[in-house]
A = this chain, B = another copy of it.
Amino acid sequence: MRGILYGVGLGPGDPDLITIKSSRLISEARVIAYPSLSGGESFARSIAANLITSGVEEIVMDVPMSVERGPAQAAYDVGAKRIEAALLGGNNVVYLCEGDPFFYGSFMYIYARLVENYQVEVVPGVTSITACAARAGKPLAARNERLTVLPGPLSTNELRVRIEGAESVAIMKVGRHMNKIRSVISDLGLTAQAMYIERASLPDELVCNLENAPEKAPYFSMIIITKGADPWL
């Protein structure tokens, strides 16, 4: 009997925002897997830490930080082989994923490698966009409003075009793209409607208007622009 691969979303960071289902799967797991970034601590593992039982086998994918895709893909290749071995041995494997597995999650790389030959179940999680909106007190979309999600690394022109034609906008992965994004938003006259959120739901969370945001943003940071939402109408 082959094991089942579970890709579980852990939400934005507060362990209380893990779902009951993900929580149970992690507590019962005998094999877990997760990525770590360039040998650093794994954010995904830190969210789930209190649920992981002792003696569990941990498959760690050490993903190098690099603009080239090759080295990261090689790390997922190796990780997928180890996960495959556990599944063939009859063990379920629970892959830990911050946020949601199919929303900018690293689980997609493992999923693509194993879904053809193994049973895989994806357990959705709370995404950072709704967590950030909650913490900023800004409704994202009501009634017939549209929402556009953009990654911060997009080019200045692409960001400008996409933000200009949008209603509510969530810009993910601000990080080192802060200055570029800030000036696009300023050029469009939208700074007053923009909020900055970093490490939403964690103890060191920061929420402020974009104009008061720090010069340097961590990878897990977001800007939300709410242009039209008026829940009174």
Contact = CB atoms under 8 A, between A and B. Distances in A.
A68 to B, nearest CB: 11
Contacts of A11: 19, 124
Interface string A72-109: 01000000000000000000000000001111100011
A221 interface: no
A82 to B, nearest CB: 18
A184 to B, nearest CB: 15
A11 B143 CA distance: 18
A178 interface: no
A181 to B, nearest CB: 13
A232 B20 contact: no
Interface residues of A, number: 60
A162 interface: yes
Interface stretch (A34-42, A55-63, A133-141, A188-196): A133-141
A120 B149 CA distance: 26
A130 B133 contact: no
Nearest to A51: B20
Contact of A137 (B122, B126, B130): B122
Contact of A153 (B100, B137, B144, B150): B144
A14 B124 CA distance: 11
Contacts of A111: 139, 231
Interface of A: 9, 11-12, 14-21, 23-24, 69, 73, 100-104, 108-109, 111-112, 115, 120, 122-127, 130-131, 133-135, 137-151, 153-154, 162, 165, 229, 231-233
